[in-house]
């Protein structure tokens, strides 16, 4: 099976140490994490991990069920890139002098749909959201004009299917719990 | 229900320390035994324990590894959660091997470690170690408490997690200030956790599909794993097997779930398992795997494993399904529930002709291996004859514990079991040093039967200090060291696969008899076959502990053997076959 890029979304309780518990599962399998974002999900108290890795679907599937074994993990999904809309944010710092010494930078900002966040006498911060290839391309174009600092966030992603999978999952989980309580 | 609420209201009013709340919580969980070893960071807990010794027993081992293996042995014989205590730093790190062992062998444990006082966390304080970080990959759940008010809730959660679903070890680290701090005591057991679903409702369709395959099968084979024992499915398993006429074989940890003399029981699977079940795995048309996880020691090369057969996998842990061997039908369930439901759907059947196909393999194995092992004609004593004779002398009604290596495989092959939960051995991790302390826990957990610990001379010396625990507690443990003066199993591999280059496997041992006597345990050495029976009789007649050393043939090998990575049906019955 071919390796390809997958976006893993894990919904978890917001507890200390869970980040570690999850990342060591990748280490143990010698999988390199390309990007990792953790933040609160739409449901209060539930965190969402978005993890980008390249591997075979078979290995990713097995990994996801094993992530789900953790007591504090509610659910773990994985998606191919065409199944999600995903973005990253990049910030570029250039000297204000180079911004003002011609219109190259301003043109690039317009051309790449980026925007200027802050201008100070010393430096200017430009922001662009997009796929990694796009933010990278802007970096390469800006760099000849002197990029002082460049940083890119991890990926955030939303599925293309129209239901929020987690709420559906939580409803189902409640139903299952009730059935189990009834049977036991 | 109401009385329970009233009484817990009453208890609610008490003002206690965190340490007292911890002990009271254990009592609420029905804990009757703790295995442990004290030290600075857990002293408040030990002090609180001192007031409850009429309600709970504490066994002081001689090493924390001993405490945790004892807790494992206790859990494995009794079906209850094993509990152990250790101090911070080195006490905590000494638990790690046992925690890893319990994780891979699905043993329910709750381990408590003391921790430095919370303001010192992260400062490299005396005896501080990040046990929560270190134990993360080998615990089902772990948690650090720095606030006394959390203790009762976390303990309740820990017990629920340890024993529900696929059981496993939980570690709770408690800072010393939380042990001292005042809190109130109010205990409420856990019944559910939002993010944790220990079992799934069984899908009707998978049961119906499974029953259809079972009813149609001409050559079905059932594989019995530890899940059968953990779910208490032994009885319904036999009803199921007898109704369907399906022959059974078990994994190492599934041993004793089925009485070894049952006509449908065909033996053990895997690397040193029986010839018939291994070969027949690659001959059957249906493989019904119950509560097992297709470990590589069982499957050999998975590419050639049972490729001709349809596979039904009954397993409580969803991550085990389709992990190693793809299942035609998966039933994600507790073995007992699944078998109960399947029992109603399957037809009465008879597979005598198919069962008879095992006979030539049983005969070949008997002639080439078993007879030579248990009734040897050559002069040197064999491990097989010792295990066989001890088992016969106990009428197969004892609990067997083993260490790891040749003696483990021989004990597993020849002991023959009557009662469930009577085979205590380290399967997934293969932990040398497990046997003696596990026997301690087994004897505490089931005092009605003698515990026979078969140990190698190597593994015995890894946890030999637990002889003192056996003596102090006067436990009915019969320690049988099968001394070949080698790290036998490694030597066997060197002989077979490394041109007999015996690199660091020969052992110059101390005088084990003197050592046992030094511990105050009656001891006897057997070198000659003629002395064996009398020594075994003396051992079993002795009340309490006994030590028997048997000098066995130095370079015997364990057969049958599936070389690692080979196809399961390529079983070798001897060095040249
Ligand atoms: C803690 C640990 N270290 C090393 C090993 C590797 N190992 C497996 S079997 C074995 C030899 C065991 O020798 P002994 O205890 O004398 O038993 P025998 O095989 O001779 O019965 C060794 C070293 C292990 N399983 N566990």
* DSSP character string of B315-328: ES-GGGTTTSS--S
Residues of A within 8 A of B191 (CB-CB) are 181
Angle at B431 between CA B302 and CA B56, to 5 degrees: 125
Among the listed residues B481, B479, B486, the one whose alpha carbon sits nearest the alpha carbon of residue B500: B486
| Per-residue model confidence (pLDDT) at position B577 | 62
Mapping DSSP to helix (H, G, I), strand (E, B) and coil, where does residue B314 land? strand
Q: Whole-model pTM above 0.90?
A: yes
Residue written as token pair 């309600």: B55
Among the listed residues B162, B152, B142, B25, the one whose alpha carbon sits nearest the alpha carbon of residue B82: B162
| Per-residue model confidence (pLDDT) at position B6 | 40
Residue written as token pair 């340890």: B162
Instruction: Look up residue A127 and give its two tokens.
Output: 């922001």
Running DSSP on this structure, what letter comes out for residue B370?
A: I
Q: What's the gap in Å between the CA of B439 and the closest CA on chain A?
A: 31
Contact B195 A74 (CB under 8 A): yes
pLDDT tens per residue across span A72-107: 999 999 999 999 999 999 999 999 998 898 899 999
Contact B406, B456 (CB under 8 A): yes
CA distances in angstroms from B335 to B166, B197, B202, listed in the order given: 11, 16, 11
Residue B537 CB: number of other CB atoms within 10 A?
12
Contact B335, B234 (CB under 8 A): no
- Burial of A118: CB neighbours in 10 Å, binned 0-12, 13-18, 19+: exposed
Instruction: Select the residue of B136, B141, B195 nearest A20 (Cβ to Cβ).
Output: B136
Q: Rounded to an integer, what is the distance from CA B25 to the centroid of its chain?
A: 26
Among the listed residues A100, A87, A99, A104, the one whose alpha carbon sits nearest the alpha carbon of residue A155: A87
- Chain A: residue whose CA lies nearest to B161: A71
CA distance B360 to B347: 28
Q: What's the gap in Å between the CA of B349 and the closest CA on chain A?
A: 30
Residue A23 CB: number of other CB atoms within 10 A?
14
Contact A176 B137 (CB under 8 A): no
- Secondary structure (H, E, C), A64-120: HHHHHCCCCEEEEEEEEHHHEEEEEEEEEEEEHHHHHCCCHHHHHHHHCCCEEEEEC
Contact B136 A24 (CB under 8 A): yes
CA distances in angstroms from B189 to B4, B8, B22, listed in the order given: 11, 11, 14
Instruction: Select the residue of A21, A65, A183 nearest B319 (Cβ to Cβ).
Output: A65
Contact B95, B437 (CB under 8 A): no
Measured from the Cα of B403, ligand 1's closest atom is: 15
Contact B38, B437 (CB under 8 A): no
CA distance B249 to B258: 9
Distance B490 CA to ligand 1 centre (A): 7
Instruction: Look up residue B338 and give its two tokens.
Output: 């699944």
Q: Check CB contact of A42 with chain B, cutoff 8 Å.
A: no
CA distance B327 to B321: 7
Residues 6+ positions from B320 with CB-CB distance below 8 Å? B293, B294, B313
pLDDT tens per residue across span B90-112: 999 999 999 999 999 999 999 99
Instruction: Look up residue B387 and give its two tokens.
Output: 């295990």
CA distance B239 to B244: 9
Running DSSP on this structure, what letter comes out for residue B367?
A: I
pLDDT tens per residue across span B502-524: 999 999 999 999 999 999 999 99
Query: Ligand 1 pocket by C-beta < 6 Å: which residues?
Result: B 403-407, 430-433, 456-459, 482, 484, 486-490
pLDDT band at A115 (very low <50, low <70, confident <90, very high): very high
Residues of A within 8 A of B161 (CB-CB) are 71
Is the pLDDT score of A178 beyond 90?
no
Residues in B 453-482 with any Cβ partner in A closer than 8 A: none
Is the pLDDT score of A162 beyond 80?
no
CA distance A18 to A24: 10
Contact A13 B195 (CB under 8 A): yes
Please name the residue whose Cα sits nearest to atom 9 of ligand 1. Answer: B405
Please name the residue whose Cα sits nearest to atom 1 of ligand 1. Answer: B432
Q: Check CB contact of B140 with chain A, cutoff 8 Å.
A: yes
Residue written as token pair 């996998």: B313
Q: Which residues of B151-187 are buried (b: 16+ CB within 10 A; e: fewer)?
A: bbebbbbbbbbbbbbbbbbbbbbbbbbbbebebebbb
Contact B291, B233 (CB under 8 A): yes
Q: What is the ipTM of this complex?
A: 0.91
Mapping DSSP to helix (H, G, I), strand (E, B) and coil, where does residue B110 land? strand
CA distance B268 to B409: 10
CA distance B75 to B68: 10
- Secondary structure (H, E, C), B254-286: CCCCCCCCCCCEEEECCCCCCHHHHHHHCCCCE
Among the listed residues B451, B465, B458, the one whose alpha carbon sits nearest the alpha carbon of residue B481: B458
pLDDT by position in tens, chain B (length 577): 333 444 444 445 579 999 999 999 999 999 999 999 999 999 999 999 999 999 999 999 999 999 999 999 999 999 999 999 999 999 999 999 999 999 999 999 999 999 999 999 999 999 999 999 999 999 999 999 999 999 999 999 999 999 999 999 999 999 999 999 999 999 999 999 989 999 988 999 999 999 999 999 999 999 999 999 999 999 999 999 999 999 999 999 999 999 999 999 999 999 999 999 999 999 999 999 999 999 999 999 999 999 999 999 999 999 999 999 999 999 999 999 999 999 999 999 999 999 999 999 999 999 999 999 999 999 999 999 999 999 999 999 999 999 999 999 999 999 999 999 999 999 999 999 999 999 999 999 999 999 999 999 999 999 999 999 999 999 999 999 999 999 999 999 999 999 999 999 999 999 999 999 999 999 999 999 999 999 999 999 999 999 999 999 999 999 999 998 899 999 999 987 6
Contact A183 B140 (CB under 8 A): no
Q: Check CB contact of A166 with chain B, cutoff 8 Å.
A: no
φ and ψ at A155, to 5 degrees? -75, 140
Q: What's the gap in Å between the CA of A44 and the closest CA on chain B?
A: 13
CA distance A107 to B17: 68
List residues of B with catalytic annotation. 64, 126-127, 176, 489
- Burial of B303: CB neighbours in 10 Å, binned 0-12, 13-18, 19+: exposed
Mapping DSSP to helix (H, G, I), strand (E, B) and coil, where does residue A57 land? helix
């Amino acid at each position: 099976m071919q390796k390809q890029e997958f976006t893993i979304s894990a919904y978890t309780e917001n507890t200390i140490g869970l980040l570690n518990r999850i990342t060591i599962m990748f280490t143990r399998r010698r999988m390199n994490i390309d990007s990792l974002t953790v933040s609160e999900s739409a449901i209060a108290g539930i965190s969402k991990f978005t993890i980008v890795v390249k591997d075979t679907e078979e290995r990713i599937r097995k990994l996801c069920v094993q992530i789900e074994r953790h007591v504090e993990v509610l659910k773990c999904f994985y998606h191919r890139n065409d199944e999600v809309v995903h973005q990253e944010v990049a910030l570029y710092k250039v000297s204000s002098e180079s911004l003002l010494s011609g219109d190259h930078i301003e043109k690039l900002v317009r051309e790449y749909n980026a925007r200027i966040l802050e201008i100070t006498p010393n430096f200017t911060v430009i922001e662009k959201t997009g796929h990694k290839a796009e933010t990278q391309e802007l970096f390469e174009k800006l760099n000849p004009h002197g990029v002082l600092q460049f940083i890119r966030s991890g990926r955030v992603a939303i599925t293309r299917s129209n239901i929020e999978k987690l709420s559906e999952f939580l409803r189902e989980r409640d139903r299952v719990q009730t059935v189990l309580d009834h049977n036991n | 229900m109401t009385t329970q609420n009233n009484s817990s209201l009453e208890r609610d009013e008490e003002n206690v320390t965190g340490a007292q709340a911890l002990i009271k919580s254990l009592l609420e969980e029905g804990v009757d035994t703790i295995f442990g070893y004290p030290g600075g960071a857990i002293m408040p807990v030990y002090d609180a324990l001192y007031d409850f010794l009429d309600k709970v027993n504490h066994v002081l081992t001689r090493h924390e590894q001993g405490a945790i293996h004892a807790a494992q042995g206790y859990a494995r014989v009794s079906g209850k959660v094993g509990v152990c205590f250790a101090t911070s730093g080195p006490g905590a790190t000494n638990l790690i091997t046992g925690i890893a062992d319990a994780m891979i062998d699905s043993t329910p444990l709750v381990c408590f470690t003391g921790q430095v006082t919370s303001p010192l966390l992260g400062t490299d304080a005396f005896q501080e170690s990040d046990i929560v970080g270190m134990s993360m990959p080998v615990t089902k759940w772990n948690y650090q408490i720095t606030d006394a008010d959390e203790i009762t809730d976390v303990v309740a959660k820990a017990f629920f997690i340890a024993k529900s679903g696929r059981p496993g070890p939980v570690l709770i680290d408690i800072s010393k200030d939380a042990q001292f701090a005042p809190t109130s005591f109010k205990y409420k057991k856990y019944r559910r956790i939002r993010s944790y679903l220990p079992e799934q409702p069984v899908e009707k369709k998978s049961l119906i599909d499974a029953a259809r395959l079972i009813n149609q099968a001409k050559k079905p084979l059932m594989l019995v794993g530890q899940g059968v024992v953990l779910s208490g499915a032994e009885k319904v398993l036999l009803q199921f097997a007898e109704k369907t006429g399906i022959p059974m074989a078990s994994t190492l940890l599934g041993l004793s779930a089925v009485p070894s003399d049952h006509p449908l029981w065909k033996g053990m699977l895997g690397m040193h398992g029986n010839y018939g079940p291994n070969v027949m795995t690659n001959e059957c048309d249906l493989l019904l795997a119950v509560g097992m996880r297709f470990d590589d020691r069982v499957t050999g090369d998975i590419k050639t494993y049972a490729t001709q057969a349809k596979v039904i996998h009954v397993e409580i842990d969803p991550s085990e399904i389709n992990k190693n061997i793809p299942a035609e039908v998966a039933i994600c369930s507790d073995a007992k529930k699944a078998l109960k439901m399947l029992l109603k759907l399957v037809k009465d059947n008879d597979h005598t002709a198919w069962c008879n196909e095992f006979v030539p393999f049983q005969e070949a194995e008997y002639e080439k291996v078993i007879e030579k092992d248990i009734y040897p004609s050559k002069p040197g004593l064999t491990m097989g004859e010792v295990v066989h004779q001890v088992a016969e002398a106990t009428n197969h009604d004892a609990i067997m514990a083993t260490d790891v290596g040749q003696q483990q495989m021989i004990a597993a092959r020849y002991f023959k079991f009557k009662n469930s939960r009577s085979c205590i051995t380290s399967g997934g991790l293969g932990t040398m040093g497990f046997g003696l302390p596990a026997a301690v826990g087994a004897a505490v957990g089931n005092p009605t039967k003698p515990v026979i610990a078969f140990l190698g001379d190597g593994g015995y010396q890894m946890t030999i200090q637990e002889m003192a625990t056996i003596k102090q507690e006067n436990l009915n443990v019969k320690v049988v060291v099968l001394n070949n003066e080698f790290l036998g199993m490694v030597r066997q591999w060197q002989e077979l696969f490394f041109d007999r280059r015996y690199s660091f496997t020969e052992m110059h041992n101390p005088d084990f008899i003197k050592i046992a006597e030094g511990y105050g345990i009656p001891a006897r050495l057997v070198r000659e076959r003629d002395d064996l029976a009398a020594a075994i009789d003396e051992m079993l007649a002795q009340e309490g502990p006994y030590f028997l050393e048997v000098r066995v043939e130095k370079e015997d090998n364990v057969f049958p053997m599936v070389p690692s990575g080979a196809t399961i049906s390529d079983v070798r019955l001897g060095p040249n076959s």
